[in-house]
Structure 1
Amino acid sequence: MNNQNTTTSQVEEDEIDLMDIFFRILKVWPYILLSIFSALLIAFIYLKIAIPQYEVSSKFFIKEKESPFGLFAEAGMGLGQMGDAGLNNQMIILKSRPIAAAALSRVNFEVDYFQKGILATREVYKNTPITVEVDWNHPQLCNGDIQITWENEKSFSIKYLDDEYRQVFPGEEAYRKAEKPLSPERVFSFGEEVVLPGNKFMIELTGTQKSGEIIIRVRDRRSLIDHYTGDALSVAPMDKQATIVKLTLRVINQAKGKDYLNALQTVFLENELEEKNLTASNTIDFIDKQIVVLTDSLLYIENRLQDFRSTNAIYDMSNEGSVIFNQLSELEIELSKERFKRNYYGQLQRYLETGSYNQIVVPSGMGIEDPILNSLIMNLIELQAEKSVQLSRLRENAPPVRELNLQITDLNKSIQEVLKNVDSNAALIISDLESRISRIESSFSSLPQTEQNLIRIQREFTLNEGLYTYLLQKRAEAAITRASNLPSNKIIEDAEADLNPVSPKRLLTYLIAVILGFIFPVGFVFVKDFLNTKIEDPKELETRLKVPLIGIIGRNSSDDGMPVLNNPRSTVTEAFRSLRADLSYLSDNKDKSTLLFTSSISGEGKTFISINMASVFSLMGKKTVLIGLDLRKPKIAEDFGMINDLGMSTCLSTDMPWQKIVKPSGFENLDVILSGPIPPNPAELLLKDKFAKIMDEIKEAYDVVILDCPPVGLVSETKELFKFSDVNFYVFRQEYSQKGNIQILNNLVEKGGLKKVYGILNDVHVDTGYGYGYGYGYGYGYGNNSYGYHEEVQLPWWKRALKRK
């Protein structure tokens, strides 16, 4: 049962806290509306000023790698499926600097054009009123604004706008920063070459505007490449299981972004096709060099053969000679092929030694069907391509590049070992063929001398003709392969731009503005409350106090310290009447009561409350005495217009009876005992037995005794005065008393054993939005902007509604 009650209490307390927060926010609703309106206005201006950014995207299909020498696939050199690494490499190539440089060479981005608007400057692309042709053989000031102004169709002026530029020199990769140069004072003619210390270009008027102004910005190649290979461009696969990638470029001008992406994709395809044709081109070049030499030899031998036949009138060989000729021809053709292979091996060895991997001819292209050698050469070409990809974004000494160099070096050594073996085998075959040819040549010595000479010339002609035909066949195969090559990759979608900007987003900007407009005033209220060390909220005081908060007294705006006597219909007077009514439940003695009023520090209003509580009892017909016990800082005399010549200090320090120091207040049933002249030892006076005796006599003589005591937080004697009272009141003042003062009272109750003590909040004038209907006289002390003045307070409609609930 107890647990259930505790849970219910906690729920109610949580609900009250939520209501407190709601009312705390509701109280500042005009400021919230003003803040939201201001934030929306700022957002509107920002959206007008901010330069929108758009996304331009395209889709690109990356196919698995194929052998670059398709017609020689019988060698088994296919690279198979392209894994994740292959796809990643292709995406890296798409963002590489060489590809970006090639794409930028297709578009004219070296000069940006901007036109000033009412609130912002906008970029203009293609449809520009002027065109600028930059001479890159001259130093150029780049990446800074230059204003071009013309008043007619013939001349224009130049003005440098930025404080800092990038100085670019022809033929140099590095650049340096340059300060703002002096703008030329002279005017220039359209079509005239403008030569300045920092720039050299020519400007043509291409539009129809007879006068105008435009801002140009010269862009050097390095900064352009940095931009288009940086965060502006993203390349990502559209699906984990697919090799289709999406290229997304964030730009200010949509048409400019579309042109770049389309150029980038085209350059990538051309680069891929060029790489695929490289092997075939190397093969054709190698064969062409062999054919040039062979053609001269074949022509020479052909002429010799014709001359020999004409001179000797012999055209056909005998049957025996034909058999010998055919045998020798077959062996010599085979011998020539083996010598051709050795020639290729030698040239390949030189390429490996010099590192000229781009000039290597694939063995299968030369008719060499050695699977090990072909496989090693293909692997070498693939590693070299991988190294080119890595070098497009890394330095030579980067770990991935160093690893590839080690692999290439190891593969180079392996290929050279294989070359030694195949070259040795070819040498053995050549030796064997030469010995067989020698044996056959010895067998036709019995033939006539003329026929022998004819056979020798015919053999040489047939050998060169066969080799020539073989080379022509291989060259034709390589040429067909190069001509039939197509890019493996494919453009799926050309670049398209989103119609809505990605930055700034209008809806999101306005939403953020509304949120911030709400948060700032609300946050200010809560931060202000958090940093506020003064007591302001009655509910907070009630929650933190270990004793009941019995009364709340509104602000007394007049100079009159006795509103109960002088303004009996005021709301402050009504608050004291309410407090007097509550005392009937707090005091055990219904006929006589002694009430003590104190506070933590001076200025919290305990004297004001003491005077008016005494007054409210006197109006009730109770014989009341107000005793000023604050011997250090007396104030009662001033409020009653009395002279503080005699008082409690006089009585305690002399033999004067207390009856002599009682002064009439001028009001019925109300007497006053002042504190008297300030003594040197106030604490010792109040601790005398005489004071206790006097208090007993006063209690007998009066119905209500009001003790106005010194602040308990400043002096020690007040703690000794609690024993003379029936009910004790601890006064706090709104926006004056420190929150730490609450703990002083709590310590008196918990550690000092103080009984019958209650809290009073004085000078309530700040409407915190809380407390209506909680039963502490809140309605009496509260009003709109002037607490304690009006005889009747009209609450706002929403507060009246909540109070009825």
Structure 2
Amino acid sequence: MIEEFEVSESSSSSFDIKKFLFRALSYWKWFLVLLAIGIFLVYQKNIREEFSYRLGTKISVEDDSNPLFTSTQSLTFNWGGVTAKVQTMIVTLKSRTHHEKVVDRLEFYKSYLKQGRFRKQDIYKAAPFRFDHDYEFPQLINIPIKITFLDADSYELDVDFLSSTAKAQNYMTKDVSSIDVPMGIFKKQFKLGDSINLPFLKGVLKLADHRKAVPGEEYFIQFSDFDSVVSSYQGRTSVTNTSSSPILDITLIDKNTEKIVDYLNTMVTILSEDQLNRKNQYATNAITFIDEQIARVKNELSDNAEALNDYRKKTKIYSLDSESETLNDKLTKLDAEKESINRQLSYYSSLKNYLLTSSTFTEIPAPSIAGIDDGNILNNVSKINELSVQKSKLQYSVRSDASVFNDLNRQIEGLKNVLQENISAASNGLRRELQTVNNALSNVESQFSKLPEDQQKLITIERQYSLSEQTYNVFLAKRGEAEIIKASNVSDILIIDPAKNTGATVLGRNLNVRYVFALFAALLIPLLIAFVLTFLDNSIHSPVDIEQLSSIPLLGVIGKNNLDDNLVVHRKPKSAVAEAFRAIRSNLQYYYRSHDLEGAKTLLVTSSVSGEGKTFCSINVATVFALSGKKTILLGLDLRKPKIFGDFQIKNDIGVVNYLIGQESLEAIIQKTDIDHLDVITSGPVPPNPSELLINERLGELIRVLKTQYDYIILDTPPIGLVADALELLDYVDVSLYVVRQDYTKKGMLNFINEKYKTKQIKNISLVYNGYDQKAKYGYGYGYGYGYGYGYGNYANGYHEDDRKNKSFFKRVKSILGLRSARFK
């Protein structure tokens, strides 16, 4: 009956650092292969590397006040000092809106490409042509359009469409749409300067200045999604500012240095233009308001001049007498005062209504337009305009619920309340002045009523004309004043260092670092594999493992058999393997003498499972005893898988099975071999009940009889880990050998025999390490401090038929065994 054999982890097993290191060293060839592959891949990547460059420009945010500014010409105002301006400029430069203006002006959504060794490269201005596209027509995006010059005046347009639809974008509205295109390769020839009018492309291709077309040259045009291009440049642009400094450093990373230069300079140009426009907005608003008033007053002036001329022609009265002239001067002066007061009251009324109904205060006309010189009004209007500008700038980069917005809103509300109080106070004062002027007008007009009727009418017409003329002149003066201030304004952006390619910083230039990473990767992979395999490895790979896993003494270490059969001692008596068996024979004889065993000696050879070399060891142990002149018999008791007959070229027709069932006599089953003093009893036919036969009393009788005829009886038994047969045979033998094979026996397989040995159910047992390979991939040699103290001299001398490898093996065998082999229990 075959018992199930469980392989479990030994409780004494642990991660073996030495085994890990030797295993890793055994992978040196893989390391070289991986290193070669890594170097090759890194080289291929390096030669395909497209470098990025960084360039920068430096600007200063100044506080340039208009030298023509006066308190009565408040058409400009300060935005809150340099600090506020710097923060505003940083926010603006980082904003998407600003980058959209730059990309739009430079048309960087349109690329000129040329096929390089590994990729299409952006050649920008190096392209010998320019394509002027129709901004309101959707252009094909994300698909390269090939341009091949046929001669100096013509070219071929080539597009490879992979599907029947494609994306197109209108760069005026920025709308993206889907268009139908001819699937496959589209080709068409054009003349330079001809209009291209295709469903997916519209524009004119013409040569750049001072450039010529070279026949056969191939280029590409590619339009990209506008938003994607803007996002790309926005992400690669950096704006830095040191604390409390008006200096801004603007840098950009790109693969084309010419594009970097143009983009940075255009960024600064647009910023300067926008800032100056914002700075001039106050004056611009004032000019617009004045122009509206001038147009109105101009019509009144024209009508009044025409009425005055008509009256003079009709009445033939061209001048006033002295009294009438005096009254006219008084009336004109009072009318001008009244008009000025009404103009101021009208402005205050409009300003109050603006404050109550508007949410932004960046378009408030200048108070000086209406002739207002109240310092409180001027200052507060300037402040509320300033806060409104800051708020409009921050709304592109700060959340609407941020604390900075709440603070600005509180300040604006406070200024609105103060302004409304100022307006009420000023309006009340103006109304009192207006009442005074009206009273004066009434007194003069009472004198005016005493004049002749024709003089009264002439004065009335001249009053209206003079009032319109004065008002018109006032607005003209204000407009001229605003124009002068606007023209004299300069931008607060001062360019310190414009962008210029005087040596761009190359990013990622040190490509040799990648070779270091390849080296580490080539080293790490074998180490990782070695670690995992060592951690998961459950096989026995060296005699050192035996010492760690079991307290059963190690009797001998046997090298790897390179012959085609198991008769290594017989066929190669001077080999290192044969010498290892002689060492086992010596150790066994020492054991027999130390235990005062007289007469025939019995020896059992077993193992954990089939394939560990149990039969190989049985044959060669029996052979070395026979070669020493001792009568030896090898008894094949592995009834399930008989083997030994094949090596001795004898038959297995009859054997121990026939004897145990009473079919044959002992003399009939004993077979001679070609080796002197060595006989063999094979197992014979495979029986249906091998376990029952082995516990038969006839087996004990057989061994007792054989002891009378032989000096040594070697029992080749079944694996003790698979069947219980070998356990039944332990009572018949003096010593048991348990075979362990390198790289084959699992560590957990020793648990069973260890337990039996620990509980003393099995005595007089030793381990034999079989199949040792000194150059195994696990790297264990014989350098672990094993001595060889059996006193049998240097066995390596004189074995000339062994190669150097076997000699080295034999020397190492001696160092492994040492005096440990005499440690029997």
How high is the TM-score relative to the length of structure 1? Answer: 0.79
Partner-residue secondary structure (3-state), 2:337 = helix
Deviations 1:100-154 (A, max 9, x none): 2221243243432222234443321212133322223333211111222234223
- Counterpart of 1:782? none
- Counterpart of 1:768? 778
One-letter amino acid of the counterpart of residue 644, structure 1: N
- Counterpart of 2:250? 247
1:792 aligns with 2:798: no
Are the equivalent residues in 2 in contact too, given 1:66–1:80 (CA < 8 A)?
A: no
Deviations 1:292-330 (A, max 9, x none): 545666788899799899623428988xx89x959x958
Are the equivalent residues in 1 in contact too, given 2:53–2:507 (CA < 8 A)?
A: yes
Partner-residue secondary structure (3-state), 1:131 = strand
Are the equivalent residues in 2 in contact too, given 1:333–1:463 (CA < 8 A)?
A: no
1:123 aligns with 2:132: no
Distance (whole Å) between structure 2 residues aligned to residue 691 and residue 73 of structure 1: 135
Correspondences of 1:649-728 after superposition (within 5 Å):
649-654=657-662, 661-688=669-696, 691-692=699-700, 694-695=702-703, 698=706, 702-728=710-736
- Counterpart of 1:212? 217
Distance (whole Å) between structure 2 residues aligned to residue 151 and residue 543 of structure 1: 83
Q: CA deviation at 1:383?
A: 4.2
1:39 aligns with 2:17: no
Q: CA deviation at 1:607?
A: 0.6
Deviations 1:40-79 (A, max 9, x none): 1222222223433333333444568999997559999866
One-letter amino acid of the counterpart of residue 290, structure 2: I
Correspondences of 1:732-751 after superposition (within 5 Å):
732-749=740-757
- Counterpart of 1:758? 767
Q: CA deviation at 1:611?
A: 0.9
Q: CA deviation at 1:174?
A: 2.9
The worse-fitting range, judged by mean Cα deviation, of 244-253 and 55-64 is 55-64
The worse-fitting range, judged by mean Cα deviation, of 149-158 and 747-756 is 747-756
- Counterpart of 2:94? 95
Correspondences of 1:38-187 after superposition (within 5 Å):
38-61=37-60, 80=80, 90-161=89-160, 163=162, 165-169=166-170, 171=173, 173-176=175-178, 181-187=183-189
Q: Cα 1:126–1:679, aligned 2, differ >3 Å: closer, same or farther? A: same
Distance (whole Å) between structure 2 residues aligned to residue 754 and residue 375 of structure 1: 109
Distance (whole Å) between structure 2 residues aligned to residue 262 and residue 60 of structure 1: 11
Q: Cα 1:443–1:337, aligned 2, differ >3 Å: closer, same or farther? A: closer
The worse-fitting range, judged by mean Cα deviation, of 453-462 and 137-146 is 453-462
Distance (whole Å) between structure 2 residues aligned to residue 473 and residue 77 of structure 1: 20
Partner-residue secondary structure (3-state), 1:200 = strand
The worse-fitting range, judged by mean Cα deviation, of 117-126 and 555-564 is 117-126
Are the equivalent residues in 2 in contact too, given 1:373–1:415 (CA < 8 A)?
A: no
Higher relative contact order (CA 8 A, sep 6+): 2
- Counterpart of 1:607? 615
Q: Pick from 723, 737, 742 the counterpart of residue 729 of structure 1.
A: 737
Partner-residue secondary structure (3-state), 2:771 = strand
- Counterpart of 2:822? none
- Counterpart of 1:343? 347
Q: Pick from 552, 559, 572 the counterpart of residue 577 of structure 2.
A: 572
Q: CA deviation at 1:217?
A: 1.3
Q: Cα 1:91–1:235, aligned 2, differ >3 Å: closer, same or farther? A: farther
Deviations 1:198-241 (A, max 9, x none): 22233234435232222221235344323323x3x232435466
Deviations 1:377-426 (A, max 9, x none): 744664465345535x79xxxx6389999999999887876676555545
- Counterpart of 2:437? 437
Distance (whole Å) between structure 2 residues aligned to residue 533 and residue 372 of structure 1: 93
Q: Cα 1:480–1:156, aligned 2, differ >3 Å: closer, same or farther? A: closer
- Counterpart of 2:238? 235
Q: Cα 1:213–1:561, aligned 2, differ >3 Å: closer, same or farther? A: same
- Counterpart of 2:268? 265
Are the equivalent residues in 2 in contact too, given 1:111–1:218 (CA < 8 A)?
A: yes
Q: Pick from 497, 517, 520 the counterpart of residue 493 of structure 1.
A: 497
Are the equivalent residues in 1 in contact too, given 2:609–2:719 (CA < 8 A)?
A: yes
Are the equivalent residues in 2 in contact too, given 1:362–1:374 (CA < 8 A)?
A: no
One-letter amino acid of the counterpart of residue 435, structure 2: S
Q: Give RMSD over aligned pairs.
A: 4.9
Deviations 1:168-223 (A, max 9, x none): 24746233387774434443222222332322233234435232222221235344
Are the equivalent residues in 2 in contact too, given 1:614–1:624 (CA < 8 A)?
A: yes
Are the equivalent residues in 2 in contact too, given 1:325–1:455 (CA < 8 A)?
A: no
Q: CA deviation at 1:558?
A: 2.1
1:256 aligns with 2:259: yes
1:589 aligns with 2:601: no
Are the equivalent residues in 2 in contact too, given 1:61–1:244 (CA < 8 A)?
A: yes
Are the equivalent residues in 2 in contact too, given 1:333–1:467 (CA < 8 A)?
A: no
One-letter amino acid of the counterpart of residue 792, structure 1: R
Q: CA deviation at 1:555?
A: 2.7
What stretches of structure 2 of length at least 5 have no aligned partner? 1-12, 789-799, 816-825
Q: CA deviation at 1:30?
A: 3.6
Q: Cα 1:378–1:575, aligned 2, differ >3 Å: closer, same or farther? A: farther
One-letter amino acid of the counterpart of residue 494, structure 1: P
Partner-residue secondary structure (3-state), 2:185 = coil
Q: Cα 1:540–1:406, aligned 2, differ >3 Å: closer, same or farther? A: same
Q: CA deviation at 1:34?
A: 3.2
Deviations 1:335-354 (A, max 9, x none): 72454243353266258647
Deviations 1:773-802 (A, max 9, x none): 236799xxxxxxxxx994332899xx99xx
Are the equivalent residues in 1 in contact too, given 2:561–2:771 (CA < 8 A)?
A: no
Q: CA deviation at 1:635?
A: 0.9
Distance (whole Å) between structure 2 residues aligned to residue 368 and residue 692 of structure 1: 136
Distance (whole Å) between structure 2 residues aligned to residue 404 and residue 268 of structure 1: 23
How high is the TM-score relative to the length of structure 2? Answer: 0.77
Q: Pick from 507, 524, 530 the counterpart of residue 502 of structure 1.
A: 507
The worse-fitting range, judged by mean Cα deviation, of 372-381 and 637-646 is 372-381
- Counterpart of 1:648? 656
Distance (whole Å) between structure 2 residues aligned to residue 495 and residue 171 of structure 1: 31
Q: Pick from 191, 196, 199 the counterpart of residue 197 of structure 1.
A: 199
- Counterpart of 1:562? 567
Partner-residue secondary structure (3-state), 1:643 = coil
- Counterpart of 1:284? 287
- Counterpart of 2:3? none
Q: Pick from 363, 370, 376 the counterpart of residue 359 of structure 1.
A: 363
One-letter amino acid of the counterpart of residue 771, structure 1: G
Q: Pick from 633, 637, 641 the counterpart of residue 625 of structure 1.
A: 633
Partner-residue secondary structure (3-state), 1:721 = helix
Q: Cα 1:356–1:299, aligned 2, differ >3 Å: closer, same or farther? A: farther
Partner-residue secondary structure (3-state), 2:499 = strand
Are the equivalent residues in 2 in contact too, given 1:282–1:360 (CA < 8 A)?
A: yes
- Counterpart of 1:783? none
Over the matched positions of the two proteins, sequence identity in percent amounts to 29
Distance (whole Å) between structure 1 residues aligned to residue 709 and residue 807 of structure 2: 44
Q: Cα 1:132–1:458, aligned 2, differ >3 Å: closer, same or farther? A: closer
Distance (whole Å) between structure 2 residues aligned to residue 291 and residue 109 of structure 1: 45
